[in-house]
């Protein structure tokens, strides 16, 4: 039996999609347990290139069940278009995709409420993906959410929607936005629901049976640990629990079942949206990382901020999640750099003798600190075709070992290109 989690160790976009794709070839179930269509997981497989927002990344294996767990919030239009894209590649998911009826549904007012807040905050805005994540999770925890199970009964759905539109439209009126029309929203959402209702099925039994049968379950985290709503750089974070503990509530798997927690970390750091990023590079090296790594947001197309690997952050997320191993991705992006720095901690600006760590303060605190670095030699040659660790340039091997030492977790996979086979497995 194996239950493995794949989690982002940084601020998202660490190449979880690629790692999950590799592992899904052996998985009976691949499940999402958090987030929504703010995620964008790129996978390149035998059917083409896909940028998955909601569908768990197990569709290329015909024997894998894909499960959208109850902790996920669902934008029906996104999900339908994704199912259609996958169908166009010749894969029918109707028997293999399970969507928990407990999932909360993103309604048209959620992105609107989000944009009201983002605009009101101005320069202090989070810089969200605009998918309504904050408001839909806020409605969930304040008992105002609408779940898929509610949509199965038109009367229940209608009653809930009336209350929500009363309150939300009052807000829209106050900020000069056009109110939403009950009939229009209801008709649109019910039409969408009718297209996926055959896949909406309670998943607790499926998961418990799989555990009992010693099946292989792969849990696909979305976002990254530093975007976690509690442990991330709040309020520059996301609305869900992105860390390993989130799987208990988000999928219904008790902690005792998890045997592998794979932290996916880029060999450098990126971040989309606002908030502190101590090792950010606003210089020519930052441009190299952005261009070589093609660092543009999968969901919004925004350029990703780029900087050196921050070992202080990843050693924090390693302990927070209990990583059993690291998958170090995009090593090839560093191929042309003569010298490479690694962040190893912080000190308050102007007080170099005081050593500090990420977990000692919040996002505001971190703005007043600057990183400390160690510098290592680059390898100045392509790693893209390397498939065995011993064939990596010695400086690249040393870089991987340095990351292991600093993070105190073994690196078991190194990725040197976006394709499935551009991978070095370290046994
Ligand atoms: P995710 O959200 O964590 O799944 O990551 P994204 O898909 O948003 O971003 C990762 C990007 O890096 C995608 O465009 C991948 O195709 C690409 N990628 C993945 N692994 C590698 C790698 O090892 N090297 C390079 N150069 N690109 C990679
Ligand atoms: P994947 O799963 C990178 C960021 C947004 C913003 C903050 C809040 O592809 O790694 P939200 O829309 O969630 O309310 O935005 O979180 N963010 C991500 N950054 N990768 C993601 O997902 C992200 N999902 C959200 O840019 O800073
Ligand atoms: Mg992404």
pLDDT over 70, % of the chain: 100
Residue 141, judged by CB atoms within 10 A of its CB (0-12, 13-18, 19+), counts as exposed
3-state secondary structure of 395: helix
Distance of CA 331 to the CA centre of its chain: 20
- Look at residue 300 in the predicted model and tell me its pLDDT: 79
pLDDT in tens, 316-358: 999 999 999 999 999 999 999 999 999 999 999 989 888 899 9
- Region 233-261: mean pLDDT is 96
Residue 263 has pLDDT above 80, yes or no: yes
- Region 47-51: mean pLDDT is 95
- Look at residue 1 in the predicted model and tell me its pLDDT: 55
pLDDT over 90, % of the chain: 95
Residue bearing the CA closest to ligand 2, atom 13? 238
Residue 12: CB within 6 Å of ligand 2?
yes
Question: Does pTM top 0.95 for this prediction?
Answer: yes
Q: By C-alpha distance, which of 29, 20, 4 is closest to 206?
A: 29
Average pLDDT, the chain: 96
- Region 411-422: mean pLDDT is 97
262 Rama sector, left if φ>0, alpha if ψ -120 to 50, beta otherwise: beta
Residue 240: CB within 6 Å of ligand 2?
no
Place of tokens 């990351």: 403
Residue 139: CB within 6 Å of ligand 1?
no
In Å, how far are 69, 233, 422 from 218, measured between CA atoms? Answer: 12, 27, 21
More confident: 367 or 422: 422
DSSP state of 304: P
More confident: 301 or 52: 52
- Look at residue 354 in the predicted model and tell me its pLDDT: 87
Residue bearing the CA closest to ligand 1, atom 20? 418
Q: Which residues are catalytic?
A: 13, 41
- Look at residue 3 in the predicted model and tell me its pLDDT: 96
pLDDT band, very low/low/confident/very high, at 227 (cuts 50, 70, 90): very high
In Å, how far are 244, 261, 316 from 311, measured between CA atoms? Answer: 19, 18, 8
Asked whether 262 and 6 are in contact (CB, 8 A), the reply is yes
pLDDT band, very low/low/confident/very high, at 392 (cuts 50, 70, 90): very high
User: Would you tell me how many other CB atoms lie within 10 Å of the CB of residue 283?
Assistant: 9
Strand-strand pairing, 339-348 and 369-377: antiparallel
DSSP state of 201: -
Structure tokens at 131: 């998918």
Distance CA 157, CA 10 (A): 38
Asked whether 37 and 226 are in contact (CB, 8 A), the reply is no
- Region 227-239: mean pLDDT is 97
């Amino acid at each position: 039996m194996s239950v493995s989690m794949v989690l982002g160790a940084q601020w998202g976009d660490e190449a979880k999609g690629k790692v999950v794709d590799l592992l899904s070839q052996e998985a009976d179930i691949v499940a999402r347990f958090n987030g929504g269509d703010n995620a964008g997981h790129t996978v390149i497989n035998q059917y083409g290139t896909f940028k998955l927002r909601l569908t768990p990344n197990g569709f290329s294996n015909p024997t894998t069940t894909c499960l959208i767990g109850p902790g996920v919030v669902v934008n029906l239009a996104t999900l339908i278009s994704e199912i259609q894209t996958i169908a166009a590649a010749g894969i029918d998911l109707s028997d293999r995709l399970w969507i928990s009826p407990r999932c909360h549904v993103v309604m048209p007012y959620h992105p609107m409420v989000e944009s009201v807040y983002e605009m009101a905050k101005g320069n202090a805005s989070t810089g969200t993906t605009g998918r309504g994540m904050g408001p839909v999770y806020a409605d969930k925890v304040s008992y105002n959410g609408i779940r898929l199970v509610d949509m199965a009964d038109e009367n229940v759905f209608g009653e809930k929607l009336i209350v929500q539109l009363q309150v939300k439209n009052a807000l829209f009126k106050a900020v000069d936005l056009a109110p939403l029309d009950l009939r229009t929203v209801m008709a649109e959402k019910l039409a969408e629901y009718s297209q996926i209702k055959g896949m909406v099925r309670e998943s607790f039994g499926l998961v418990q049976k799989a555990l009992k049968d010693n099946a292989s379950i792969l849990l696909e985290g979305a976002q990254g640990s530093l975007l976690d709503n509690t442990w991330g750089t709040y309020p520059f974070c996301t609305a869900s629990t992105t860390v390993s503990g989130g799987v208990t509530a988000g999928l219904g798997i008790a902690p005792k079942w998890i045997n592998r927690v794979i932290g996916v970390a880029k060999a450098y750091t990126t971040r989309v949206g606002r908030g502190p990023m101590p090792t950010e590079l606003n210089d020519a090296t930052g441009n190299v990382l952005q261009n070589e790594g093609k660092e543009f947001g999968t969901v919004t197309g925004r350029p990703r901020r780029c900087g050196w690997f921050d070992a202080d952050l990843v050693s924090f997320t390693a302990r927070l999640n209990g990583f059993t191993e690291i998958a170090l991705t995009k090593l090839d992006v560093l191929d042309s750099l003569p010298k490479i720095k690694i962040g190893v901690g912080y000190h308050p600006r102007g007080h170099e003798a005081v050593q500090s760590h990420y977990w000692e303060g919040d996002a505001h605190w971190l703005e007043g600190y600057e990183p400390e670095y160690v510098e290592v030699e680059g390898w100045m040659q392509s790693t893209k075709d390397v498939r065995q660790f011993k064939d990596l340039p010695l400086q690249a091997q040393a870089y991987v070992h340095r990351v292991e030492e600093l993070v105190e977790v073994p690196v078991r996979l190194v990725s040197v290109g976006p394709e499935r086979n551009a991978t070095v497995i370290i046994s």
